[in-house]
């Protein structure tokens, strides 16, 4: 489910700004971006995100404002001097003239490193960072809740439409066999009339019974109806039901496919197509539900 939250806090004159964005995802995926000086917070931040959120791709960014470069980075002067001495010695021994570019040397690995805070400052940063992270999460969840109200209304409409189609299938299934028996009897009589033979009613009844066994969809109708009821109950609970609804929709699709394959009737097939379209809509919207 999409959402957005932000918050700020201050430690020793440095502003810590948190920004959290979430987009749809079947599972929880946290993408955390932190400045080097606060990388020690990554595990605590991810734990806090997972405690509050269960689905979605979460993009978390922590930025520092009003901080000087001296606070963020430090130069390993000893290593830098060692490299300069070696370069000068090489130049003098090979008669190579040239200037040493300090800026290029700073790009060497380990020359510039983040300035880590002391233990007391680290505790203050951790407290403020987790507090503003929780504040941003709460704002994100508020936005998600507002969107959830619209999703609930859409899910209800799709569910009610599916119930209507299922009732049409239930009613139609009662007359399919009778119509099949009449069509079969009429067709056989037409063929036998040319040969001047009489239809064996027992044989006709046996053929109709075979079709009735193969095309019986009463169990599938009952299970699909049960899944719709479970879907409704899950939507009414306050627990995180996104994955449960996803599973129920998969089961509904399976029952609908079975009905379509067993029922030899165009009207039932049309209703099944409409139900499957509604299920696809449900599956799409369920990705937005935590």
Of residues 198 and 131, the one with the higher pLDDT is: 131
Query: Does 132 score more than 70 pLDDT?
Result: yes
Task: Tell me which of 54-63, 186-195, 225-234, 251-260 is least confident.
Answer: 186-195
The band of 264, judged by pLDDT with boundaries at 50, 70 and 90, is confident
CB 61 within 8 Å of CB 33: yes
Task: Tell me which of 33-47, 234-248, 257-271 is least confident.
Answer: 234-248
Q: What is the rounded average pLDDT of the residues 243-269? A: 86
CA pair distance 206, 124, nearest whole angstrom: 84
Q: What is the rounded average pLDDT of the residues 87-114? A: 71
Summary count for the chain: helices (H), strands (E): 9, 6
**The pTM of the whole model exceeds 0.95:** no
Query: Does 96 score more than 80 pLDDT?
Result: no
State pLDDT tens for residues 13-56.
888 999 999 987 778 899 999 988 888 899 999 999 999 988 88
Of residues 274 and 180, the one with the higher pLDDT is: 274
Q: What is the rounded average pLDDT of the residues 94-119? A: 71
Say what the pLDDT of residue 90 is: 75
CB 169 within 8 Å of CB 271: yes
CB 56 within 8 Å of CB 1: yes
- Which residue ranges form the domains of the chain, and what is each CATH number? 3-70+117-146 (3.30.230), 77-105 (no CATH)
Of residues 171 and 61, the one with the higher pLDDT is: 61
**% the chain with pLDDT above 90:** 25
Task: Tell me which of 117-126, 198-207, 244-253 is least confident.
Answer: 198-207
Q: What is the rounded average pLDDT of the residues 119-139? A: 92
Look over the chain and give the mean of its residue pLDDT values, rounded to a whole number. 80
Query: Does 87 score more than 80 pLDDT?
Result: no
Q: 142-147: which pairs have CB atoms within 8 A and are 24 or more residues apart?
A: 142/5, 143/2, 143/3, 143/4, 143/5, 144/1, 144/2, 144/3, 144/22, 144/290, 147/1, 147/2, 147/3, 147/288
Say what the pLDDT of residue 236 is: 76
State pLDDT tens for residues 134-171.
999 999 988 888 877 788 888 888 889 999 999 998 88
State pLDDT tens for residues 157-206.
888 999 999 999 888 887 766 666 666 666 655 655 655 555 556 665 66
Say what the pLDDT of residue 208 is: 57
Give residues with Cβ within 8 angstroms of 170, minimum separation 6.
221
Say what the pLDDT of residue 243 is: 78
Query: Does 92 score more than 80 pLDDT?
Result: no
């Amino acid at each position: 489910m999409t959402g957005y939250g932000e918050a700020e806090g201050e430690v020793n004159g440095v502003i810590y700004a948190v920004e959290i964005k979430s987009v749809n995802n079947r599972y929880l995926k946290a993408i955390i971006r932190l400045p080097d000086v606060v990388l020690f917070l990554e595990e605590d931040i991810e734990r806090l995100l997972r405690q509050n959120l269960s689905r979605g791709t979460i993009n978390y960014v922590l930025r520092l404002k009003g901080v000087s470069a001296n606070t963020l980075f430090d130069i390993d002067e000893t290593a830098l001097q060692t490299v300069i001495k070696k370069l000068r010695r090489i130049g003098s021994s090979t008669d190579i003239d040239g200037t040493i570019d300090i800026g290029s040397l700073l790009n060497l690995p380990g020359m510039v490193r983040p300035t880590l805070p002391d233990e007391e400052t680290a505790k203050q940063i951790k407290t403020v960072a987790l507090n503003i992270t929780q504040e941003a999460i709460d704002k994100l969840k508020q936005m998600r809740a507002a969107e959830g109200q619209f999703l609930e209304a859409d899910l209800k409409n799709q569910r009610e439409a599916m119930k209507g189609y299922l009732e049409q299938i239930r009613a139609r299934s009662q007359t399919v066999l009778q119509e099949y028996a009449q069509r079969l009897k009429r067709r056989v009589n037409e063929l036998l009339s040319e040969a001047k033979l009489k239809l064996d009613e027992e044989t006709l009844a046996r053929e109709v019974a075979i079709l009735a066994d193969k095309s019986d969809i009463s169990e599938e109708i009952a299970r699909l109806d049960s899944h719709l009821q479970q879907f409704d109950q899950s939507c009414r609970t306050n627990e995180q039901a996104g994955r449960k609804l996803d599973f129920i929709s998969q089961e509904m699709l399976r029952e609908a496919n079975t009905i379509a394959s067993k029922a030899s009737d165009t009207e039932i097939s049309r209703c099944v197509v409409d139900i499957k379209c509604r299920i696809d809509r449900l599956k799409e919207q369920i990705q937005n539900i935590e």
